[in-house]
Amino acid sequence: MAIPADIAKALHGAWRLARFDRTGLAFFGHDEAAFIRSFRAALIAYPAFLVLLALRLSDAEWQDAHWLRLLLVETIGYVITWVGFPLLILPATRFLGRAHLWLDFIIAYNWSQVLQFGLYLVVVALVESGVLPRRCWPMSGSSQRSPSTSRARPRS
């Protein structure tokens, strides 16, 4: 299955921005239609979100919660994040006197999220496969503190 040209172009622009290449901005549209289209990135990243969700939750959490309820709650949170962030950034851009760049920022940010989810999946796969040590990964599934970090510090 071929990637539609506009999506490939936007992802290429996000890749160039990730490499600190400012010319990546030329690969995005700069109008309201491009803004709306950039939310397709949420659909593209959603399967990665689901994989990461499955790996993040422990077996006990999967057993305690009804899977459909869990999926719905996490999906609602995912949607709120995708919609909420642009709404949160709008007043910040106004405060900074950059409101005219808000659309461009959100378009680039949305497409960059696809790359971020991809990178995150690669790192998780390396940790889960044992290539990277689990102790180096903050999401290792263990919420217990080690004895060395749970001791009280002496007062000076």
Q: Which residue has the higher pLDDT, 66 or 37?
A: 37
Tokens of 72: 């719905």
Question: pLDDT at residue 28 above 70?
Answer: yes
Question: pLDDT at residue 131 above 60?
Answer: yes
DSSP string, 34-79: HHHHTTHHHHHHHHHHHHHHHHHS-HHHHHHS-HHHHHHHHHHHHH
| Mean pLDDT for the chain overall | 85
Question: pLDDT at residue 59 above 90?
Answer: no
Give me the pLDDT at residue 152, please. 38
- With CA atoms as reference, report the closest residue to 52 among 139, 146, 143: 139
Q: Read off the amino acid at residue 127.
A: V
Give me the pLDDT at residue 57, please. 79
How wide is the angle at C-alpha 145 spanned by C-alphas 140 and 69, nearest 5°?
50
d(CA 48, CA 10): 18
Q: Across residues 26-42, what is the average pLDDT?
A: 96
Residue 84 confidence class, pLDDT cut points 50, 70, 90? very high
